[in-house]
Amino acid sequence: MSSRRNFLHKLTLSAVSIPFIPGFETKPMYKMSKKSDQGTMLRVAIMGLGSYGTRVAEAMEACKKAKLVGVISGTPSKITDWQAKYDIPEKNCYNYENFDAIRDNPDIDAVYIITPNALHHPQALRVAAAGKHVICEKPMALNAKEGREMVEACKNAGVKLLVGYRMHFEANTLEVIRMREAGAFGEIKFFQGLSGFRIGDPTQWRLDKALAGGGAMMDIGIYSVNGARYMIGAEPEWVTAQETKTDPVKFKEGVDETIMFQFGFPGGVVASCLSTYSMSNLDRFFLNGTEGFAEMQPSTGYGPIKGKTHKGPLDKPHITHQTVQMDRMAEIILEGDTAKVAVDGEEGLKDLIIIDTIYKAVKSGRKEKIKLG
């Protein structure tokens, strides 16, 4: 653990020392075709072979339009293990120092970045410069400034930038959105989002400001931030926020333990949300309107998502979220499809702007305007 932690620290320091120069590292080294050489099969390399990378890889075995073909890792033993398990050829295996060479590998279409938050920005710039599509875990970056640079880099390179918003493809979530749009809940008035769990190992990267960019808000809290937006179907105009810290040893300066935050939306709609690393059994969304309601618990876990509305239970069949996500992202990248709820870089940037403003509100103690434009 300590050796990996030291490696990540060194990697982060070297990454943040690379300046972003618009137009410099963002030009693809070769012209990309719209579709893969294998028709509509998106060929993906996963960067970061930790627990979530493993979950994605296992889910992709059931995909019809996306295939795991490559790996990028700083741990040689993991690469060897994944090669054997997923039949990955040696030529599609890279480490964090040499993965720029994917520019010369026509058998990889996209790279899914599943590394600590601080690495998303520099790694995405390098992937884009290599002419490959970028899929990035959330939060997309440490802050809105980095997010904007990622959006610009991918645009300049002519590649897609997508963010791992798996809930945007989940069936019961989409059913609630369909009902709201059809007017089933009447005029929306209120949303509540509770996102939290008790975090374990105090030495993990999620509790390291340099690697995580914060604490619970940069991990579990983003679900309530994003969920408020897609459940209400509007963008927040202001936010107030309050931070509570009971363990300053575990949650050091700049690493938030618990933040309560409140949004104001157009038309007087309000939201009350909680992000925490110190309470379990918090995975609940509640949407209230003049004619009905929707309640989901669990609302963002790996599934199955459960819930009900005033009309009865939410009972859409559960399919592994990452399987659906990767197949739909293949359609977006290769077929020009669009998602019901956006999963592109601009969507990820909006969440980063909002999170930046939440942190600002915590410090100021005031109602802060959210400027998404």
pLDDT for the residue numbered 10: 53
195: which DSSP letter? E
Label residue 239 exposed, middle or buried (CB < 10 Å: 0-12, 13-18, 19+).
buried
Q: What is the pLDDT of residue 6?
A: 54
Question: Token pair of 339, please?
Answer: 């998602």
Q: What is the pLDDT of residue 24?
A: 36
Q: Give mean pLDDT in consecutive 10-residue pieces for the chain, a chain of 373 residues.
A: 51 48 38 46 98 98 98 98 98 98 98 98 98 98 98 98 98 98 98 98 97 98 98 98 98 98 98 98 98 98 97 98 98 97 98 98 98 92
Confidence (pLDDT) at 40? 80
pTM (2 d.p.): 0.91
Other Cβ atoms within 10 Å of 249 Cβ, number: 6
- 314, with CB counted inside 10 A (0-12, 13-18, 19+), is buried
All domains of the chain in start order, with CATH: 2-163 (3.40.50.720), 167-317+345-369 (3.30.360.10)
